[in-house]
A = this chain, B = another copy of it.
Amino acid sequence: MPELQIIGITDIPEIQPGDDLPEILLRALSQQGRALEDRDILVIKQKIVSKAEGRLVRLKEVIPSEFAIHLARQMGKDPRHVEVILRETKRVVKMDRGLLIVETWHGFVCANAGVDESNVAGQEVLSLLPLDPDESAYGIREKLLRQTGVSVAVIISDTFGRPWREGLVDIALGVSGLKPIKDYRGQPDAYGRLLKATEIAIADELASAAELVMGKTEGIPVALIRGYPYTLEKGKGTELIRPAEKDLFR
């Protein structure tokens, strides 16, 4: 009777550049009367990681290019916002109907390169994805380990759209402490039949599961997943990015 719990961590204040996220997480947990346990998984929204890392651009400091001004008209966005999206873009995957789907410098394919409007201390800013979400996850995991002696896995999550299906789901940008893909190939299924091509993106599923307690309006940017069996292993969110040569939908 496998069972897991997903717990939303409340009482996390608005994050400012330079904030010590692991410290803030531990404080919020203790306010809930909870402590981390070995093999817990922490799922943390990209937005607060980006804020803590200062991955922010003040809108008023951006000078848009001609191309950004042109696109901004189609997209109904501020040209400075579009300028920042283009700076975060390695390759445009699709540009149509006011939508801009790009490949970021990390290799993520998503709308608007993950650039998002935000507020920091009353100023209009744009938040960018962390420079290296795996490194962000690793840093948080290591600091929590040092402070508490407890080994948890960390997933940095973000909300992405998908082709063919309506609605967005949370996926894993950065991962530390577990393999993001569970590989069943060659194992027998419940009926003894060998499984052929079953690699499950568990880090994405964990991110989606965490979103269910976070919501969008509740100010819950962190969830704790307890009871999911995994082995402590090196793993990176970049393993979830399909290499160009394997991708039918480049």
Contacts and interface: CB of A to CB of B under 8 A. Distances in A.
Nearest to A247: B164
Interface in A171-216: 171, 180-182, 184, 187-191, 193, 195, 198-202, 204-206, 208-209, 211-213, 215-216
A212 B209 contact: yes
Contacts of A67: none
A122 B40 CA distance: 41
Chain A contact patch, size range: 35 or more
B166 A94 contact: no
B195 A212 contact: no
Contacts of A94: 248-249
A4 B5 contact: yes
B8 A199 contact: no
Interface in A80-121: 94, 96-97, 99, 101, 109, 117-119
22 contacts: A1-B7, A2-B220, A5-B5, A96-B248, A99-B248, A119-B191, A162-B163, A164-B241, A165-B201, A165-B204, A166-B241, A167-B202, A169-B208, A187-B216, A189-B219, A200-B211, A200-B216, A204-B208, A205-B209, A206-B212, A208-B208, A209-B212
